Structure 1
């Protein structure tokens, strides 16, 4: 997330992520962190600095951490079983990278029947060869706001969360 190059709105998104986490805790919602296990030799290889969850995130020991190897956080992970055990009926989704992991997980959740709230200002990505990170964030917020799925997808900024 930090780069190089840095993700769009990186500092703002980290601050907003912590506000979202605080709101979830205040409502008694469990907080789950997803950690991507990249291939050997990549910056996301387990144990490398790029693999670690960002140190600015306000984590508690009781927070679940689920490791994944693909963009969709549901594929070949314990996420579905963890959500079932916790009695989750709806999800708030944030994170990095908007155009890969966040998009795959939003779609995966909605198509598994979970109502999803995407926090519009709590996900980010880097510039890509064909589009700036800012453009991708705005594009995906629009896509999710207009996507037909078995469960509803809402896109709202952090300040509009209850």
Structure 2
């Protein structure tokens, strides 16, 4: 019987702990209506938005800084001024919670995002939002490059089905989501199942 695979973190002897609301910034990524009832609606968006709403309430009660990212595109989906581009009510920012617009998956491509995080003085980020394999993934990897510790809350993220590459079968939304989290957990993030597991 073959041995279970290990992450690169495990092979390096690292055992990073998840971030806590006491020492992190909560980042809500693209929790927008396109993912609720638009052409790229996500199968698990309802439970994920419920988890985001709960985590937002906990973060606000704890005094945790909260920032939001919102995708924008010139045509198709996420077009400025459309209902689909608006942040879903469950994840809507409150007064004092900045929203940074972006045109690429990585949130750090907005030049104002990194300085705003740096000003908060917290070196851990808790990431939630959509989609796991796209904007969550890209932002997490960029955050690590900039020296942040990253924690991702599994039930507060979601993905969509994708066609298979190079002739492989298509992948369900759950398979895409799980695969993205496995890849990130190899080196780039601590992945927790839900907010109760935050440090």
TM-score by length of 1: 0.89
What secondary structure, in the 3-state scheme, does the structure 1 residue paired with 2:107 have? coil
Aligned length: 157
Q: Of residues 33, 39, 54 in structure 2, which corresponds to 1:19?
A: 54
Alignment partner of 1:118 is 2:158: no
* CA apart distance, 1:159: 2.2
Gaps of at least 5 residues in structure 2 are 1-34, 165-170
Distance across 1 between alignment mates of 2:191 and 2:82: 33
Alignment partner of 1:95 is 2:167: no
Partner of 2:177: 137
Distance across 2 between alignment mates of 1:55 and 1:42: 22
* CA apart distance, 1:138: 0.9
Partner of 2:71: 36
Partner of 2:94: 60
Contact 2:69 2:99 in 1 (8 A): yes
Alignment partner of 1:104 is 2:138: yes
Partner of 1:159: 196
Moved more, 95-104 or 25-34: 25-34
Distance 1:5 1:73, change over 3 A: closer
Distance across 2 between alignment mates of 1:117 and 1:5: 25
* CA apart distance, 1:6: 2.8
* CA apart distance, 1:58: 4.6
* CA apart distance, 1:25: 2.0
Q: Give the structure with higher Rg (CA).
A: 2
Partner of 2:112: 78
Distance across 2 between alignment mates of 1:19 and 1:9: 16
What secondary structure, in the 3-state scheme, does the structure 1 residue paired with 2:70 have? strand
Distance 1:85 1:5, change over 3 A: closer
Alignment partner of 1:8 is 2:48: no
Structure scoring higher RCO (CA < 8 A, sep ≥ 6) equals: 2
TM-score by length of 2: 0.74
RMSD value over aligned CA atoms? 1.5
Gaps of at least 5 residues in structure 1 are none
